[in-house]
Amino acid sequence: MEPALLSPAHYKFFHIPVALFAVLIPLVGTAAFVFIMKRRLDPMLTAAPDSRWDRILGRVIKVLKIWLAQWRQPRYMTAGVLHIIIFAGFLILSVRSTTLVFLGFWDGFVFPGFGGAAGHVYAVLKDYAATAVLLACCVAAVRRGIFKPERYAVPKRYGKDHTGEAVFVLALIATLMISESLFEASLVAAQIQQLQPAEFLAPGSLAWIFRNMLVDTPITQLQSLHIGAYFVHDITFFFFLCFLPLGKHFHVITSLFNVFFMRLERGNIKPVLHGVADDQLDDLESFGVKQYQDFTWKHVLDFYSCADCGRCSDHCPANAVKRPLSPRFISIKGRDYAFNHFPLLGADQTKDDEYRLIGDVYDEDEIWSCTTCGACEQECPLGIEYIDKIVDLRRGMVEDGNVPQSLQKPLRALEKRGNPWGKVEKKRSAWVKAVAEECPVKLLEKGAEAETLYFVDSISSYDDRMQEIAQATAKTLDAAGVDFGILGKDEKDSGHDVRRFGEEMLFQDLRAQNTDAILESGARQIVTADPHAYNCLKNDYDGLPPVRHISEVLLEKIKKGVLKLSAANGDGKVYTYHDPCYLGRHNSLYEAPRKLLDAISGLERVEMLQNRDRSFCCGGGGLMLFYEPEEEQRMGVLRVQMAAAAGANVIVTACPFCLVNMEDAIKVAGMEGKLEAIDLCELVDRHTVA
């Protein structure tokens, strides 16, 4: 039987077999694609090393969850659902598109495994997939082009608007969907006209609609349409393939790899240079990221993978208060640098040794503005990292001596005295005097022994107001029957934010001193009420006894009935819990503090809109307290306003830095009397039944 229409493999145009083009287009397209990808790989090949081949199972799970299941997409419901439709459509249609490429010169080609019944099922699936993708593209184009959600806007200092590129790509995708459906629909329409058995088209699908429109069209026109649709698809397909690595749609290719290689741990900081042990750091010529090639290859891959969705910046507290930092543009600027300095045509434009990224691509204030809260990384749907890059850039600035004056003094004090205020070491345990009668605190520096070490850290040791947290912590530990002591003058600052501000060697000094003191104390577990210390001891130190946050310890004691809390009935207050970044996002400790609050019977607790892993940073702790950023308002002010909006009049934190920032913010926002801030330990202490 004659085929209803000639396939591209047999069709001749003015005696020229079009199959020739069907062979040439993929050859040229693939060659161009390989060439472009090679150029994109070049900066990665000369970048710094990165250890990302460990824990393959964990990485596969990330791929299944974050890449394949698009786990983080629905955090933004509309955009997320649209993306899932397009993503799933792409996966389904990849088989169809590949088949089409072969059909151009190989009549009757069937993708291996897609013959017979499987082929018919697949045909229905791909008809609906193409239809859904086209609809999603239309909605997405209207959204981007007309409604223009705010997070896609490009502030002037970062260059031109990206809407054109986004809509252009949506148009390419739509063209692929329409041409694929027309190719098929024209054939089916011809088969019907010639009463031949026709491929079943899924009712309601794009191809089905086209077939119904074409069923009375003359065969000659159908033939032209069939061949025309084929080549529109073929050319668009290979153009799109080569266009992907030229812009934000590179993520279509890189996301799989980016998610596979994404960070598996949170709360930690990358080593100065992968593969170089701490005791060999002195031999390194240079520290941190100063020039582009100091980034690791994964960080370059991050830049390539940014889809410009703006979710990171939408949740960045620094961006929210108009500090000069928007994580999205850390990536976009990093990507554009690679595109410009490793051009597709022409030689690499590597700069001289004097050249610095800071000042040319990034600004000092931009890099110092980050509180390392981790909201950006939590939000990124394809696992881009920011904290390690920021810390690496800071390491470079620290080595160049390029540190704001406001930070130099506390850093020097940390070096000399082990605390950022330069206070005298022997005063580190001064806070115990006020509670000496109620609960004597053992001083392990004097040779006393205790099962549990309470690691106080600098701010709760020295700051007048925060000493009350230390005192409340001591009293609740005592009431819970915990045998504990403190290191006193032998304790140094944990160095948590020293490391995150890029002064790695000072951090390592502090770590060494603390590690010795802790091990010497003989304590078998460590408890702390400072999430920065908690994160640091847990994730930055090695070989310590287990570290727990006070909320876990107290909750356990309540469950065992050792610690009893009185009721809050009738205090008329509405409480809300603010998740400290280094307890929540970085260590997934969300429930224990809430359960502790709920253990106070009758306590009325509400949640802020942004809670748990979407908690909004209070303004940052550690050295961030000393930094003087350019900003329009304080992060803390936004946060206390969120608490008020939730209907709370008491904001409970579990971090001394949060408390500093909240109490300041309440004053700045003029909310004194309407809202108060209190530490979790203080609240538990008030309700402790002797």
Partner 1 sequence: MEILVCVKRVPDTSENEIELNSAGNDIERDDLVYSVNEWDNYAVEEALQIVDKAGGSVTVVTVGDDESEEVLRREMAMGADKGILLSDDAFEGADGRGIATILKAAVDQGSYDLILTGAQADDGAAQVGGMLAAMLDVPYASLVNKIDVNGDKITVGREIEGGNQEMHEIALPCVLSIQTGINEPRYVGIRGIRKVASVEIPTLGAGDLGLDAGAVAAKVKRLDYFLPDMGEGAEMLEGDTDEIIEKLIEMLKAKGGLK
Site for partner 1, rule CB under 8 A: 281-282, 287, 398-403, 405, 407-409, 411-413, 415-417, 421-424, 426, 503-506, 509
Spatial separation of the C-alpha atoms in residues 613 and 380, rounded to whole Å: 12
C-beta of 292 vs 462, nearer to partner 1: 462
Amino acid of residue 239: F
- DSSP bridge partners of 415: none
Q: Give one DSSP letter per residue of 329-342, joined into a string.
A: HHHHHHHHHHHHHS
Spatial separation of the C-alpha atoms in residues 318 and 30, rounded to whole Å: 43
C-beta of 308 vs 503, nearer to partner 1: 503
Label each residue of 192-246 as H, E or C: HHCCCCCCCCCCCCHHHHHHHHHCCCCHHHHHHHHHHHHHHHHHHHHHHHHHHHH
C-beta of 65 vs 426, nearer to partner 1: 426
C-beta of 408 vs 566, nearer to partner 1: 408
C-beta of 426 vs 559, nearer to partner 1: 426
Q: Helix and strand tally (H, E) in the chain?
A: 27, 11
- Report, in Å, the least distance between residue 330 CB and partner 1: 23
Spatial separation of the C-alpha atoms in residues 97 and 240, rounded to whole Å: 12
Spatial separation of the C-alpha atoms in residues 393 and 274, rounded to whole Å: 15
- Report, in Å, the least distance between residue 540 CB and partner 1: 16
Spatial separation of the C-alpha atoms in residues 205 and 187, rounded to whole Å: 16
Spatial separation of the C-alpha atoms in residues 568 and 127, rounded to whole Å: 61
Spatial separation of the C-alpha atoms in residues 575 and 290, rounded to whole Å: 46
C-beta of 31 vs 668, nearer to partner 1: 668
C-beta of 80 vs 495, nearer to partner 1: 495
C-beta of 478 vs 503, nearer to partner 1: 503
- Report, in Å, the least distance between residue 292 CB and partner 1: 22
- Report, in Å, the least distance between residue 399 CB and partner 1: 6
Spatial separation of the C-alpha atoms in residues 304 and 245, rounded to whole Å: 8
Closest CA to 258 of 324, 215, 197, 303: 303
Q: How far is CA 381 from the centre of its chain?
A: 7
Question: Encoding tokens for residue 420?
Answer: 């950022």
- Report, in Å, the least distance between residue 687 CB and partner 1: 28
Closest CA to 490 of 459, 514, 460: 514
- Report, in Å, the least distance between residue 429 CB and partner 1: 15
Q: Which DSSP letter does residue 67 get?
A: I
C-beta of 415 vs 604, nearer to partner 1: 415
- Report, in Å, the least distance between residue 623 CB and partner 1: 12
- Judge residue 3's burial from the number of C-beta atoms within 10 Å of its C-beta, 0-12 exposed, 13-18 middle, 19 or more buried: middle
Using CA atoms in the order 427, 431, 433, 434, what is the torsion angle rounded to 10 degrees? Answer: 150
- Report, in Å, the least distance between residue 598 CB and partner 1: 35
- Report, in Å, the least distance between residue 669 CB and partner 1: 15
C-beta of 180 vs 540, nearer to partner 1: 540
C-beta of 224 vs 402, nearer to partner 1: 402
Label each residue of 455-524 as H, E or C: ECCHHHHHCCCCHHHHHHHHHHHHHCCCCEEECHHHCCCCCHHHHHCCCHHHHHHHHHHHHHHHHHHCCC
- Report, in Å, the least distance between residue 357 CB and partner 1: 18
Q: How far is CA 363 from the centre of its chain?
A: 21
Please work out, in degrees rounded to the nearest 5, the angle formed at the alpha carbon of residue 625 by the alpha carbons of 592 and 635: 70
- Report, in Å, the least distance between residue 634 CB and partner 1: 19
Residue 598 near residue 605, CB atoms below 8 Å: yes
From first CA to last CA, the distance across the chain in angstroms is 95
C-beta of 21 vs 431, nearer to partner 1: 431
Question: Encoding tokens for residue 584?
Answer: 């929540």
Residue 52 near residue 360, CB atoms below 8 Å: no
Which residue bears the tokens 């970044």? 581
Question: Encoding tokens for residue 540?
Answer: 């930055």
- Report, in Å, the least distance between residue 498 CB and partner 1: 10
C-beta of 29 vs 418, nearer to partner 1: 418
- Report, in Å, the least distance between residue 361 CB and partner 1: 21
- Report, in Å, the least distance between residue 140 CB and partner 1: 47
- Report, in Å, the least distance between residue 492 CB and partner 1: 14
- DSSP bridge partners of 453: 485, 526
C-beta of 400 vs 598, nearer to partner 1: 400
C-beta of 250 vs 368, nearer to partner 1: 368
Q: How far is CA 378 from the centre of its chain?
A: 4
- Report, in Å, the least distance between residue 504 CB and partner 1: 8
- Report, in Å, the least distance between residue 506 CB and partner 1: 5
C-beta of 509 vs 552, nearer to partner 1: 509
Query: With b meaning 16 or more CB within 10 Å and e meaning fewer, what string describes 322-360?
Result: ebbbbbbbbbbbbbbbbbeebeeeeeeeeeeeeebbbee
C-beta of 281 vs 599, nearer to partner 1: 281
Which residue bears the tokens 């307290």? 625
Alpha helical stretches, state H, 418-466: 458-462
Q: 264 vs 51, 54, 439, CA distance in Å?
A: 12, 10, 42
Question: Encoding tokens for residue 435?
Answer: 């509670």
